Amino acid sequence: MGNIVLKLDARGRIAIPAKVMKDFNFQPGDVFFMKPDKMAILLAKAENPLEELTEYARHERKTGKSMELRAFARKHKIPLGK
């Protein structure tokens, strides 16, 4: 991807071109962290770690690598409350 020219509007907003949004899977409402760095501004999309954990748990469940909490407790001899 080459250079992309963006323009700041009167309200301080910068529009992200549709192709960039698609290429990076940006969605309306996404949150970003901004870090000023001399003559540049670095943006990083804020990721929700719980979303990644949920996807991991779904994958583990689908592949049969997970177990229920009570089974885990029995296997490791961990007493569970009632």
Q: Which residues contact 1 (CB under 8 A, 6 or more apart)?
A: 20, 23
At 2-43, the pLDDT tens digits run 888 899 999 999 999 999 999 999 999 999 999 998 888 888
> Could you tell me the residue ranges of all domains in the chain?
16-46, 47-82
> What does the pLDDT read at residue 82?
65
Q: Where are the beta strands (DSSP E) in the chain?
A: 32-37, 40-45
Residues 67, 57: contact at Cβ < 8 Å? no
Task: Report the alpha-carbon distance of residue 66 to residue 25 in Å, rounded.
Answer: 29
Nearest-CA neighbor of 33 among 45, 20, 16? 45
Q: What pTM does this model have?
A: 0.51
